[in-house]
Amino acid sequence: MESFLKSFRPLLMLPGVPGGEWGVTEWLHEQVKPHADEIRVDALGNLIAVKEGTRKNKHLMLLAHTDELGLTVSNILEDGLLKFKKLGGIDDRVLASRHVTVHGAKGPHDGVIGWIPPHLIIEPEEMKKVVGWQDLFVDVGAESADEASKMGIRIGDPITFKKHVSVLNRKLLAARAMDDRIGCWILMQFMKQLAQVKARVSAVFSSQEEIGLRGASVAAFAQDPSFAIAVDTASAGGFPMVPQALGSFRVGRGPVLRMVDSRMVASVKAKEFIVHVAEERKIPYQLGVAGGSTDAAAVQLARRGVMVCPVCVPLKYTHSFAEVASLEDIQNTLNLLLRVAEEY
């Protein structure tokens, strides 16, 4: 776990809300550049690294998104408090009292999302209500709009949530933004370890996935792959309150081949090929039906249509501030993707 954290933690800690992923992209660019035949960043912020193969009629694309859930400053009130808008699918239930960082023109500023204590609530029923994001605010310690402005804070500045990393039972990792920095780490290692391949391989570190799979849509049209794999996470069950219809796969039992989700049905031939490779190489895997979606949904509809099948690390407590994944699942996902690329 220690060696993994040494390489993963720097990537995890980089801020990267949708549209503000440049720091993540720059860091990955330096890591991947020595291992690519071609590398570039497009106008939407996608980092695209290519390894040329010997078969020009086959083009495998793998995608992992660089953005994380976050906020943006939408208004600065006269009393110095900041109103915000959500960037991505953040559950309002987990917002209140969070520590955040506001990335202003003069540098980052610590802040907190304010919360009314029970001591100041008159009606007990109010304590049972979920306060919507539109009624919350960020407190950076400014006492006026002018003071916030002098701090370098402006409308449109990104806001990220503070991150804390925990190791559970020496085998599970808990942190914020594991979705999808896990995928980025896997794809980075994939490019470093991939030997000579038959097919052309494109590794796309995509932008703006959390607000509509935007980066993947552009990258897929430009690269025009014949087969695409979204390297992402999938919301695992195995704890109370999860409906049986969506809780079939578990953390610690291998990567998930995401067969159906809210916006995609995976290609049967793609699934069969990946299953064949996994079973031949004795790599554990799971088949899953999930909510939400991945970059594969955007790639599938690009140009002439693309054969897709997401390969995901099972993740507990997705889009919370304590997402949990298994190191063994992460390693098995990397191994499976390397073998798939070698055989395609």
Using CB atoms within 10 A of its CB, is residue 47 exposed (0-12), middle (13-18) or buried (19+)? buried
* Residue labelled with tokens 């996902």: 333
CA-nearest of 90, 87, 116, 88 to 103 is: 87
The three-class DSSP label of residue 159 is: strand
Q: Which residues are CB-neighbours of 271 under 8 A, at least 6 positions away?
A: 257, 259, 287, 309
The single-letter code of the amino acid at 217 is S
Structure tokens given for 297 = 């949904």
| Dihedral over Cα of 114, 118, 119, 122: its sign | positive
Q: Is 30 assigned a catalytic role?
A: no
Beta strand 227-235 pairing with 307-308: parallel
Beta-carbon contacts of residue 234 (< 8 Å; ≥ 6 apart): 249, 256, 258, 288, 290, 310, 312, 313, 314, 315
Tokens of 101: 């960082």
Burial class of 20 by CB neighbour count within 10 A (0 to 12, 13 to 18, 19+): buried
Say if CB 295 and CB 214 are below 8 A apart.
no
Tell me which DSSP letter residue 95 carries.
Answer: T
Considering 209, 210, 272, 328, which one is annotated as catalytic? Answer: 209
What are the residue ranges of helices labelled H in the chain?
A: 2-13, 22-32, 145-150, 178-193, 214-223, 268-280, 295-300, 327-343
Which sequence positions are flagged as catalytic? 209
